[in-house]
Amino acid sequence: MANKVWAFVDQFKGKALPASWEVVYTGRKLADQMGTGLAAVVIGSGVQDLAQTAIQYGADEVFLADDPSLDDYRANAYAAVLAQAASQGEPEIVLFPTSTRGREMAGMAAVDLNTGVLVDVVAMELEGDQLVATRPVYAGKLLSKVVCKGRPQLVTLRARAFEKPVADASRTGTVTATPAAMAEDEIKVKVMGYEKAEAGVSLTDASVIVSGGRGTSNNPKLDPPADVTDEAEVEIWKAQQGFKLIGDLASVLGGAVGASRAAVDAGYIPYSHQVGQTGKVVSPDLYIANGISGAIQHLAGMRSSKVIVAINKDPDAPIFKYARFGVVADLYEILPHLTAAMKERLDK
C-alpha cells in the first residue's frame, strides 16, 4: 500500500529542526485517520540517522536522498528531489515545518507539481481526503480557513501548534534510496560559507520568551561609563543593561530573548530578536514582557502565548489587558529578584 501522507524532515548540517518531528508525528496521526501510511522525506548528505529518527516518530517509510550534492542546503535542488519523488509517489498530503526552508521548498514544489500550498497552518481537520486548515493572517489578527484544490495538498505547519511528538524506539520502517534531481550546472547556486547564529534558544522553538521594549533604556539611576557620552549611545548602553537582566531571567528559564520593534528600531538589540507583525510570530507557554507597552503589531506577534506576564511602569500600558499577571513597576527593580526567585523555585 502506498503511503499517502508525507512529511518533510527539515535539517541543517545533519541536525533536524525540532519542528520536523512535530510534522512527522502529526503526519502519523493524519495517516492513521485516513487509513494509510506515512512516508518521511529526508534530504541531505550523511543524514541516515535522521531516517531512523523519523521512523521512531511515526514514519513507515523514509525517502532518503543522501548525496554529496545535497550537503549544503540549496532550495531548488532540495525542492526538485521532493517534487520528483512526489510526482511518482502521488501522496495526498505533504507536510513541512513552517521554517525558512519549509516555506520556500513548499512554494517551489507547488510550482513543480502545479498544486497549492497552505502556509503556517495552526489547526486542521480532514473531510475525507480533503484537509480544511486554519491559518493566521495579518499576523494572527484574523484567522482564515483554507483548502488546497490541487494534489498533493502541500501544507506547512507552525512550530509548537500541534501535539508534542513522542518517539517510539521499537517502531520499524523501510528506507527507500531516492536520487538527487538537479545537475550542478542547473542549480546555479553555490554555498560559499556559513556563520553560526549566536548561541541561545531560537524564538520560534522557545517554550519561554523573555522580552524587552523601550522601557529597558528608562533607568535614570544607571550611570554609563565615562567613554559613553553621546546621548543616543547612552540610551543604547542603558537598554543593554536592561537586556542583560532579561537575558539572565531567560537563561534561568531556559528561554529565548525577544524584543519589541521599538527596541530593535532604537538599536538596542538585533532584529533577529524582534517579536511582532514585522518580526517573528511566537506562541510560547510563557511570555514575559518587560517595558513593552503592547503596540498592536507586537501583540499580534505574541498574544497566542499561553501565559503572558507584563512588567511595566505605566499602569495604562495596553499589554496589561493581555497579561495573566501584571506588575506595575520598574523592570530594573523587579527582574533581578524575579530571576533569583525563579532560580530558587526551579532548584537551579
Partner 1 sequence: MKIIVCVKQVPDSAATMSVDNGKVSWGDAPLVINPWDEYAVEAALRLTEEHGGDVVALSLGDENAKEAIKHALAMGCSEAILVNDPAMAGADTQAVARVLAAAIQKIGDADVVVFGKQAIDSDVGATPAMVARLLGWPALTLVSQISEVNGSSIKAERTMEEGRQQVEAGLPAVLSIVKDYGEPRYPSFIGIRKASRAQVPEWTAADMGITAPEAMVAWPEVMEPPARQIANEIIEGGSPEEIAAKLADKIMEEKVL
Window 97 to 136, contacts with partner 1 (CB under 8 A): 99-101, 103-108, 110-112, 114-120, 132, 135-136
CA distance 261 to 339: 24
CA distance 267 to 236: 7
Select 235 or 330, whichever has its Cβ closest to partner 1.
330
Q: Is the peptide bond before 152 cis (omega within 30 degrees of 0)?
A: yes
Touching partner 1, residues 270-329 (CB under 8 A): 270-272, 274, 277-278, 281, 285-286, 295-297, 300, 303-304, 306-309, 320-329
Touching partner 1, residues 199-238 (CB under 8 A): 202, 204, 207-208
x-or-dash pattern for partner 1, window 243-262, by CB under 8 A? Answer: ----------x---------
Establish how many alpha carbons lie within 13 A of residue 292's alpha carbon, considering only the half-sphere containing its beta carbon: 37
The residues pairing with 307 across neighbouring beta strands, listed in sequence order, are 286
Select 171 or 222, whichever has its Cβ closest to partner 1.
222
Total interface residues for partner 1 by CB under 8 A: 101
What would the 3-class secondary structure string for 67-127 be? CHHHCCCCHHHHHHHHHHHHHHHCCCEEEEECCHHHHHHHHHHHHHHCCCEEEEECEEEEE
Touching partner 1, residues 2-61 (CB under 8 A): 12-13, 15, 17
List the end-to-end C-alpha distance of the chain, in Å, as a whole number: 51
Select 117 or 282, whichever has its Cβ closest to partner 1.
117
Neighbours of 164 (CB within 10 A): 10
Smallest gap from Cβ 140 to partner 1, in A, equals: 7
Touching partner 1, residues 64-83 (CB under 8 A): 72-73, 75-76, 79
Select the span of 28-36, 46-54, 56-64, 139-147 touching partner 1 (CB under 8 A). Answer: 139-147
Among 1, 88, 149, 225, which residue sits at the site for partner 1 (rule: CB under 8 A)? Answer: 149
**CA angle, 226 then 228 then 231, to 5°:** 125
